[in-house]
């Protein structure tokens, strides 16, 4: 663990190894392949006997520098970067699960993650979705072939907070791989390692990058899981420290073979963005809190979902676990008020599907990100047809509140 604080550690992580020509940032290495003056060295890198780079699909010095930053942020042992958050999730499951295995997942997940898990279901991996706000629901779903439990920290769009500590204790007692998607909280607000997570996923596209200018994803091994107990590690990778077997298999099977590589350009953008993560997160959380309180008190608003509000069902849990409640909040307008009318009147706030940008973004949930599910499934997940999801940015709070006041006709 670094002796420095979060931002100091992130800012100076590149310099832990010498940087070419004394550059302050790790430069962008846009080379598809890497050459060796002695072919013996090429062989050694291929065989894992010597560190180095051989081919860009498997990693570059630029992505490695970002991976190092993420490992430090998550206090993990190793990180692998991918072309997107979804690529990180699919590669992790693809590498570590086999037909006949069972996965328990939260019912409150990012829609594309749920859709991905359903695809795994069609390929012989059984998936059970449970309300993960109670560890008892996860426990009740466990089977002898349950290999993994997958949850998010604060769910998007209705902001349910999973029983992260309870599930961690359960997974540790049963020797089950516990994967936490930390995208919404980011390692500034929450360290999944502290609740026993084995692997942490982050969409770097969101808060870590922060500027909405690059896609990326990462999976970090916290070092807590003993992979010698995991039956799906191939004999090929059962060598060296057993703590690294899982992440090595993800790098080989999930990154090298599946090939959803993080480009050096994107890695560089994300690394620069990550330098201000802690600073941006403070403003993002404070803007979200102010906006949630404003909307909750507004006569045209029916309901607001935000863990920072005292009437949120997991408010106390969020307070205990997180250093802030992040920037995702959703609200429903009173019946008869057209959400498109309100969205159309917002001047600063942008209608967009992304989240975690410096700019505040809004999206009508039902006809966009939850459209494929259909009305019945949306209702079962508690997603109202007029629900609007907001991702607060770092604008001046008075401008943001004034924009909503105008749009709501104040
Ligand atoms: N995980 C969560 C919680 C997300 O909200 C998202 C995207 O919104 C993803 C993963 C996927 O990330 P990406 O868009 O980088 O693939």
**Tell me, what CATH number does 86's domain have?**
3.40.640.10
Same domain assignment for residues 256 and 305: no
- 168 belongs to a structural domain: yes
Let me know how long the chain is.
Answer: 410
Nearest atom in ligand 1 to the alpha carbon of residue 205 is: 15
What's the token pair of residue 41? 């060295």
Nearest atom in ligand 1 to the alpha carbon of residue 155 is: 3
Give yes or no for residue 203 CB within 6 A of ligand 1: yes
Give yes or no for residue 180 CB within 6 A of ligand 1: no
Same domain assignment for residues 236 and 282: no
Tally Cβ neighbours within 10 Å of residue 97: 21
19-28, long-range: CB < 8 A, 24+ apart? 25/268, 25/271, 25/272, 26/61, 26/62, 26/65, 26/268, 26/271, 27/61, 27/62, 27/268, 28/62, 28/264, 28/265, 28/267, 28/268
Indicate the pairing of strand 78-82 with strand 102-106.
unpaired
Distance 68 CA to ligand 1 centre (A): 21
Supply the residue whose CA is at minimum distance from atom 5 of ligand 1.
Answer: 110
Give yes or no for residue 153 CB within 6 A of ligand 1: no
- 368 belongs to a structural domain: yes
pTM as predicted = 0.97
Cα–Cα distance for residue pair 273/356, rounded to 1 Å: 11
Distance 340 CA to ligand 1 centre (A): 24
Same domain assignment for residues 296 and 231: no
Same domain assignment for residues 288 and 388: yes
Nearest atom in ligand 1 to the alpha carbon of residue 183 is: 3
Residue to substitute in 66, 70, 81, 86 for testing ligand 1 pocket (most ligand atoms within 8 angstroms of CB) = 86
Same domain assignment for residues 214 and 292: no
Same domain assignment for residues 80 and 165: yes
Same domain assignment for residues 126 and 241: yes
Q: Which domain holds residue 133?
A: 6-274
Distance 275 CA to ligand 1 centre (A): 20
- b or e along 264-298 (b: 16 or more beta carbons within 10 Å of the residue's beta carbon)? bebbbbbbbbbbbbbebbebbbbbbbbbbebbbeb
Tell me what pLDDT residue 373 has. Answer: 86
Supply the residue whose CA is at minimum distance from atom 4 of ligand 1.
Answer: 110
Distance 20 CA to ligand 1 centre (A): 33
Same domain assignment for residues 131 and 200: yes
Q: Which of 274, 309, 339 is a domain's end point?
A: 274
- 1 belongs to a structural domain: no
Give yes or no for residue 184 CB within 6 A of ligand 1: yes
Q: Which of 215, 239, 274 is a domain's end point?
A: 274
Catalogue the E-assigned strands of 263-327. 301-305
Nearest atom in ligand 1 to the alpha carbon of residue 87 is: 16
For the chain, what is the domain count? 2
Same domain assignment for residues 10 and 150: yes
- 232 belongs to a structural domain: yes
Cα–Cα distance for residue pair 325/318, rounded to 1 Å: 7
Same domain assignment for residues 239 and 284: no
Give per-10-residue mean pLDDT for the chain (410 aa). 90 92 94 97 93 96 97 98 98 98 96 95 97 98 98 96 98 98 98 98 98 97 97 96 97 97 98 98 98 98 98 98 98 94 97 97 94 89 91 98 96
Give yes or no for residue 110 CB within 6 A of ligand 1: yes
Q: Which of 274, 290, 306 is a domain's end point?
A: 274
Residue to substitute in 91, 110, 219 for testing ligand 1 pocket (most ligand atoms within 8 angstroms of CB) = 110
Give yes or no for residue 156 CB within 6 A of ligand 1: yes
Supply the residue whose CA is at minimum distance from atom 11 of ligand 1.
Answer: 85
For residue 397, give the CATH number of its domain: 3.90.1150.10
Same domain assignment for residues 249 and 211: yes
Three-class secondary structure of residue 220 per DSSP: strand
Same domain assignment for residues 69 and 198: yes
- 134 belongs to a structural domain: yes
Tell me what pLDDT residue 410 has. Answer: 84
């Amino acid at each position: 663990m670094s002796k420095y604080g979060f931002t100091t550690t992130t800012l100076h992580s590149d310099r832990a190894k010498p940087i070419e020509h004394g550059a302050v940032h790790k430069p962008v290495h846009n080379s598809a392949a890497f050459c060796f003056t002695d072919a013996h060295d090429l062989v050694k890198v291929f065989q894992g006997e010597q560190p180095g780079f051989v081919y860009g699909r498997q990693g570059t010095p630029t992505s490695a520098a970002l991976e190092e930053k993420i490992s430090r942020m998550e206090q993990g042992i190793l990180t692998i970067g991918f072309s997107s958050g979804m690529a990180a999730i699919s590669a992790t499951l693809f590498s570590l699960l086999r037909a006949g295995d069972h996965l328990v997942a939260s019912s409150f997940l990012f829609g594309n993650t749920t859709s991905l898990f359903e695809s795994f279901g069609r390929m012989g991996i059984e998936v059970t979705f449970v309300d993960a706000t109670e560890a008892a629901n996860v426990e009740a779903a466990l089977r002898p072939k349950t290999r993994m439990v997958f949850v998010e920290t604060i769910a998007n769009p209705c902001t349910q907070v999973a029983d992260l500590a309870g599930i961690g204790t359960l997974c540790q007692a049963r020797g089950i791989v516990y994967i936490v998607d930390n995208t919404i909280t980011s390692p500034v607000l929450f360290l999944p390692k502290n609740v026993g997570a084995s692997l942490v996923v982050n969409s770097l596209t969101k808060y870590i990058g922060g500027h909405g200018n690059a896609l990326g994803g990462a999976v970090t091994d916290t070092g807590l899981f003993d992979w010698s107990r995991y039956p799906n590690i191939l004999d090929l990778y059962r060598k060296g420290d057993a703590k690294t077997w899982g992440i090595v298999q993800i790098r080989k099977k999930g990154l090298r073979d599946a090939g959803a590589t993080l480009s050096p350009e994107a890695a560089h953008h994300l690394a620069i963005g990550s330098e201000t993560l802690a600073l941006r997160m403070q403003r993002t959380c404070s803007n979200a809190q102010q906006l949630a309180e404003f909307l909750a008190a507004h006569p045209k608003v029916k309901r607001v979902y935000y863990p920072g509000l005292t009437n949120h069902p997991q408010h106390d849990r969020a307070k205990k676990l997180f250093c802030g409640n992040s920037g995702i909040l959703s609200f429903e307008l009173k019946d008869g008020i057209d959400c498109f009318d309100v969205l159309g009147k917002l001047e600063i706030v942008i209608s967009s599907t992304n989240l975690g940008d410096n700019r505040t973004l809004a999206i009508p949930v039902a006809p966009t990100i939850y459209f494929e599910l259909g009305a019945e499934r949306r209702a079962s997940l508690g997603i109202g047809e007029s629900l609007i999801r907001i991702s607060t940015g770092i604008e001046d709070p008075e401008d943001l509140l004034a924009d909503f006041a105008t749009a709501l006709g104040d």
